[in-house]
């Protein structure tokens, strides 16, 4: 059955009135959402940035295949084809030893100038830079490449990469568990606070049924009330986290200059976070209130 | 209009409240349900507005078998009957006007119609000037008049009242009875459980006496018939 506009308006009016009537309960519920969303928001922001770092690192992971100095052009081509045939491999790029030296000099800054002496007699190897389709397959691909002919050395920062991946994966999991835990805690808190207001209104619900109100008619104002509670509860976390992130970004970003690590820029990241917090607040509020009202509509 | 056939009601705690009742109440009748406390009057009334369902036997209201109404549909059924209680059962946070309007809001009547109709019934019970007050600001008699106004606002065919004057002083009681009489005169069936011998003996109507869950007496223009 389609609801009439006048009925929708009535439900909206009732739900807003109810917020005012149950002043302290409203305050308690909104506070519960606020505290939860601040925690969720902080974890979320940290997690997303960790993810971002993980991504940059993942993208950066490459296998450097040092080619034996004895290999001629033909041997190199054979090696390249062989590497390309490994299923995990995405791209193979050649970097000459001259190029390698330039990169090395550049990365060392002023001290690197000393290496210019080697330009005449370059001790470095030609290199194939190999990227895998999936960063997790780096080790597998590397060990396959090691077995090929004319491979002098295979390097991919083994220990570091492994440790970093482990750390990032662990923190992702911990973060997800914490966020889910907090989410349900908030629903529990809200459904409890709303339950208290409803116990006080149990008699009212019974009277409403006596004079012909269906369950959905009774439920609507509670649904909306939960929605308002959730949205109200989301406002403060959004403001606080936005300000904090703005400050933190200004403080941290310059320090990361020159490293490969980048944190997410305020725009659009903070708008996304705000949207998510608002949505979560609404969801927590609605879910909590519907859960508690459900019980009283059975009798 | 209301028809009970071989109705028995046994509560879970083992109490048998209704012990075989056959009765028929026609459209436009005014019926008193009398009997000592615990005789089964309230259960009788509750079964009519389907707060209780008989353990066996059937109750029909305008041809509808009440036992077959699903829990979810009960409120919709109740839109066809007005109910008045001893303790008024008004919504404490709503004004007099809003309390009465509520019964029309649930059937999604238009705001214009609601306004017109609520004012009509408020006029009937003589409380137009107190429309904006809360129930707690009214006397018992006035609260009962509000609840009567609410019970008739969507023009039900039958009004059920369970001890409507139980909490009121004699003078107020007569005010209420005059309103009930007026409602009945307009063709609405009235079923009223009461302990008030003065009313029954003065405003003579059909009397159904229930004792031990059975109808022991059913007479037109009957007497209250109990002492005290």
**Domains of chain A, residue spans:** 5-57+162-296, 62-155
Residues of chain B above pLDDT 70, percent? 99
- A3 to chain B: closest CA residue: B108
Instruction: Please answer whether residues A63 and A141 qualify as being in contact, where contact means their C-beta atoms are separated by less than 8 angstroms.
Output: yes
Nearest to A6 among B49, B93, B110 (CB): B110
pLDDT 10s digits, B193-213:
999 999 999 999 999 999 999
Phi-psi label, residue B155: left if phi above 0, alpha if psi -120 to 50, beta otherwise = left
Least confident span in A104-118, B163-177, B208-222: A104-118
To the nearest whole Å, the CA of B62 is away from the closest chain A CA by 18
Please provide the DSSP assignment of A128-195 as one string: EEEEESSGGGHHHHHHHHHTSTTEEEEE--HHHHHHHHHHHHHHHHHHHHHHHHHHHHHHHHHHHHHH
Is the pLDDT at B228 greater than 70? The verdict is no
**Cross-strand bridge partners of residue B159:** B82, B190
Nearest to A214 among B76, B91, B110 (CB): B76
Is the pLDDT at B4 greater than 90? The verdict is yes
Report, as an integer, the average pLDDT of B4-18. 93
Helix H or strand E encompassing B50 = none
Comparing CA positions, the residue from B220, B168, B228, B201 lying closest to residue B36 is: B228
Is the pLDDT at B187 greater than 60? The verdict is yes
Residue A67's pLDDT is what?
Answer: 85
Expressed in angstroms, the distance from the first to the final Cα of chain A is 23
- B147 to chain A: closest CA residue: A211
Residue A299's pLDDT is what?
Answer: 53
Q: Which residue has the higher pLDDT, B167 or B228?
A: B167
**Is B90 in Cβ contact with A208 (below 8 Å)?**
no
Q: Which residues in A lie closer than 8 A to residue B49 (C-beta atoms)?
A: 210
Report, as an integer, the average pLDDT of B59-70. 93
Residue A111's pLDDT is what?
Answer: 67
pLDDT 10s digits, A135-171:
777 778 888 888 887 888 888 766 666 777 777 778 8
Nearest to A209 among B75, B111, B154 (CB): B75
Residue B222's pLDDT is what?
Answer: 87
- B105 to chain A: closest CA residue: A7
Residue A157's pLDDT is what?
Answer: 67
Cis peptide before A106 (omega within 30 of 0): no
Take residue A137 and report the two structure tokens written for it.
Answer: 């397959």
What is the rounded (10 degree) CA torsion for B24, B25, B26, B28? Answer: 180
| A14 touches B: beta carbon within 8 Å | no
**Is A217 in Cβ contact with B106 (below 8 Å)?**
yes
- Provide the CATH number for the domain formed by A62-155 in this structure: 3.30.70.3040
Comparing CA positions, the residue from B136, B61, B148 lying closest to residue B103 is: B148
The residues near B215 (Cβ < 8 Å, ≥ 6 apart) are: B21, B22, B23, B208, B209
The fold for domain B2-80+156-219 equals Rossmann fold (3.40.50)
Instruction: Please answer whether residues A211 and A10 qualify as being in contact, where contact means their C-beta atoms are separated by less than 8 angstroms.
Output: no
- Please report which confidence band the pLDDT of residue B90 belongs to, taking 50, 70 and 90 as the band edges: very high
Residue A278's pLDDT is what?
Answer: 94
Ranges under pLDDT 50 in chain A: none
pLDDT 10s digits, B98-154:
999 999 999 999 999 999 999 999 999 999 999 999 999 999 999 999 999 999 999
To the nearest whole Å, the CA of B89 is away from the closest chain A CA by 6
Give me the sheet containing B189-193, strands edge to edge. Answer: B81-85, B158-162, B189-193, B30-34, B206-211, B214-219
Rounded Cα distance, A194 and A187, in Å: 10
**Is A6 in Cβ contact with B108 (below 8 Å)?**
yes
Instruction: Please answer whether residues B56 and B84 qualify as being in contact, where contact means their C-beta atoms are separated by less than 8 angstroms.
Output: no
To the nearest whole Å, the CA of B91 is away from the closest chain A CA by 6
Report domain extents, chain B. Answer: 2-80+156-219
- A209 to chain B: closest CA residue: B75
This complex has an ipTM of: 0.87
Phi-psi label, residue A135: left if phi above 0, alpha if psi -120 to 50, beta otherwise = alpha
Residue A234's pLDDT is what?
Answer: 93
**Is A6 in Cβ contact with B106 (below 8 Å)?**
no
Rounded Cα distance, A296 and A74, in Å: 82
């Amino acid at each position: 059955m389609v609801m009439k506009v006048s009925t929708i308006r009535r439900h909206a009016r009732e739900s807003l009135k109810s917020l005012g009537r149950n002043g302290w309960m409203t305050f308690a519920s909104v506070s519960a959402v606020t505290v939860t969303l601040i925690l969720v928001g902080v974890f979320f922001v940290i997690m997303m940035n960790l993810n971002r770092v993980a991504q940059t690192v993942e993208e950066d992971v490459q296998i450097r295949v040092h080619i034996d100095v004895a290999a001629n052009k033909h041997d190199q081509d054979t090696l390249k084809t062989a590497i390309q045939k490994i299923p995990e491999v995405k791209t193979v790029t050649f970097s000459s030893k001259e190029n390698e030296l330039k990169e090395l000099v550049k990365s060392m800054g002023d001290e690197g100038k000393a290496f210019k002496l080697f330009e005449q007699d370059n001790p470095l190897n030609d290199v194939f830079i190999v990227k895998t389709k999936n960063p997790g397959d780096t080790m597998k691909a590397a060990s396959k490449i090691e077995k090929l002919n004319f491979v002098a050395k295979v390097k991919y920062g083994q220990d570091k990469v492994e440790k970093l991946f482990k750390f990032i994966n662990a923190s992702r999991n911990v973060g997800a568990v914490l966020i889910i835990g907090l989410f349900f805690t908030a629903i529990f808190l809200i459904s409890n606070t709303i339950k208290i207001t409803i116990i006080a209104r149990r008699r009212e619900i019974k009277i409403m049924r006596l004079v012909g109100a269906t369950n959905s008619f009774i439920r609507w104002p509670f649904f909306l009330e939960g929605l308002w509670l959730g949205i109200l509860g989301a406002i403060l976390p959004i403001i606080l986290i936005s300000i904090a992130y703005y400050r933190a970004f200004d403080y941290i970003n310059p320090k990361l200059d020159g490293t490969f690590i980048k944190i997410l820029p305020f725009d659009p990241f903070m708008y996304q976070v705000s949207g998510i917090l608002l949505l979560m607040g609404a969801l927590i509020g609605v879910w909590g209130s519907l859960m508690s009202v459900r019980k009283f509509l059975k009798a | 209009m209301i028809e009970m056939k071989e109705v028995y009601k046994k509560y879970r705690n083992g109490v048998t409240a209704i012990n075989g009742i056959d009765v028929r109440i026609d459209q436009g009748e005014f019926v008193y349900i009398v009997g000592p406390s615990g005789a089964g009057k309230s259960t009788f009334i509750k079964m009519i507005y389907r707060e209780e369902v008989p353990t066996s036997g059937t109750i029909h209201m305008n041809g509808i078998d009440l036992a077959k109404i699903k829990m979810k549909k009960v409120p919709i059924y109740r839109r066809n009957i007005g109910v008045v209680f001893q303790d008024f059962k008004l919504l404490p946070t709503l004004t007099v006007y809003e309390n009465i309007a509520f019964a029309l809001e649930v059937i999604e009547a238009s705001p214009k119609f609601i306004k017109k109709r609520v004012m009509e019934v408020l006029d009937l019970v003589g409380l137009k000037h107190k429309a904006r007050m809360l129930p707690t600001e009214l006397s018992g008699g006035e609260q009962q008049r509000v609840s009567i106004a609410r019970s008739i606002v969507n023009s039900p065919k039958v009004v059920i009242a369970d001890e409507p004057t139980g909490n009121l002083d004699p003078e107020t009681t007569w005010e209420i009875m005059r309103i009930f009489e007026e409602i009945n005169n307009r063709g609405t069936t009235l079923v009223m459980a009461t302990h008030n011998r003065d009313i029954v003996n003065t405003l003579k109507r059909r009397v159904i006496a229930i004792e031990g869950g059975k109808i022991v007496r059913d007479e037109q223009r009957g007497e209250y018939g109990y002492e005290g």
